[in-house]
Amino acid sequence: MLEWGLGSLIVALGAAILGFGGSEGAAVELARIVFQVALAFFALSAVVRMVRGNG
């Protein structure tokens, strides 16, 4: 659980640097990319789960 907390802290600090540094456009673009990667990983894991028959 501590690993999740540290990971969240790092993400929050990165977001604060981008948000407070005046580079909001970069933060929005980074958020869009992270969302698309997460969505791709979700779709891939769903397909793998269906193929393996665990779902």
Residues 1-55 pLDDT 10s: 667 787 888 888 877 776 676 667 777 888 888 889 888 888 888 888 889 886 5
pLDDT of residue 55: 55
The answer to whether the pTM exceeds 0.75 is no
Q: How many domains does the chain have?
A: 1
Q: What pLDDT is attached to residue 19?
A: 67
Q: Which domain holds residue 3?
A: 1-53
CA-based end-to-end distance of the chain: 26
pLDDT of residue 3: 73
Residue 23 has a CB neighbour count (10 Å cut-off) of 13
